[in-house]
Amino acid sequence: MKNLKLTIVALLLSTVSFAQWDQYNPNPNNDPANASKELLNPTNHSLLLIDHQSQMAFAVESQPIEELRNNLGLLAASASLYEVPTVVTTVAEKSFSGPVFPEIREYFGEDYIDRSTMNSWEDTRVAKRVNSFKKEKLVIAGLWTEVCTLSAALSALEDGYDVYVVVDASGGTSQEAHDMAMTRMIQAGVKPITSLQYLLEIHRDWARSDKYNEVVKISKKYGGAYGLGIDYIKTMSKWMTGKEASEAGKN
C-alpha cells in the first residue's frame, strides 16, 4: 500500500514537474514533454549527499580522491545552480569522521543531518526531509559506495523512489567493493550516472540563456578535458573575431 501511494504521487508529480520546467525553456523548437521520463530535469528530483567527510575519504581506493572531489564539486555546483532540493548527511561529524568536503560547503553551507546509522535512510530525519520535497526521483552520491550509498539507495528504491547514483562522486574502499556495490544496486533497479552527465542532462538545451554562462563556468572549472575544450574554443574565437563562440549560436 505504501509503495502504491508513492507511485500515484510520483505520477502526479511527474506531470507537474514537466510543466514547471517549461518556464526555463525559451527555445520554441524544444518541447521537454517529448523527452523520456527517465531523464532528470531541474524540477523532478532531489539530491542526497552522504558522508563526504575526511575520515571516510582516507579509505577510498576506487578512484583518486582528487578526482572524486572534482566530480563532487561538479555535482554540487550543478544542483545548487538549478536549486535542486538537497540533503547533506554526516556520520559522527564532530567525534570521528570530521568535516564535510569543501566542495559541498561552498554550495550548501553547513546544514547537515548528523547521524549514527550507517544507512542514512534509517534515520527518520533524513527520510522525512527527502519525502518533504515530494519529488519522484532521488539522486544519491556518498562514501562509501558499498555501505552508505548502497543501503540508502536500496531503501529509497523500496520506498518507491526512482533512484539514480552518481558513480564518480561516490567511492569505495576498493575497486571491487565499489564495482560490486554498483552491480548490486543496478540489479535492484538503481540507475547509474556520472557528474558531468548530471549537469548536461538537467541543462539539456544550450538556448537556456538564463543558465548558459553559469553552466559554462561550472564546466570550465570541473569538466576536465571537456571544460578545457570549452575554454579553448571560446578563447580562440574571442582572439580571432572579438566574440566568444556559443553552443546556442549567440554570445
Taking the chain, what is the end-to-end CA distance rounded to the nearest angstrom?
52
Residue 210 corresponds to which cell in the numbers above? 538564463
Give the separation between CA 76 and CA 73, rounded to whole angstroms. Answer: 5
Give me the DSSP letters along 91-111: ESIIIII-PBPHHHHHHHTT-
Q: What is the pLDDT of residue 174?
A: 98
> How confident is the model over 178-192, as pLDDT tens digits?
999 999 999 999 999
SS3 171: strand
**pLDDT band at 25, cuts 50/70/90?**
low
With b meaning 16 or more CB within 10 Å and e meaning fewer, what string describes 191-216?
bebbbbebbebbbbbbbbeebbeebb
Give 174-181 contacts, CB < 8 A, sequence gap 24+: 174/61, 174/62, 175/61, 175/62, 177/62, 177/144, 177/145, 177/146, 178/62, 178/63, 178/144, 178/145, 178/146, 179/62, 180/146, 181/145, 181/146, 181/149, 181/150
> How confident is the model over 42-65, as pLDDT tens digits?
999 999 999 999 888 899 999 999
> How confident is the model over 87-110, as pLDDT tens digits?
999 986 666 767 899 999 999 998
**pLDDT band at 250, cuts 50/70/90?**
low
Residues forming the active site = 148
This prediction's pTM:
0.86
pLDDT over threshold 60, residue 23: no
Secondary structure element (H or E) that encloses residue 10, with its range = helix 2-21
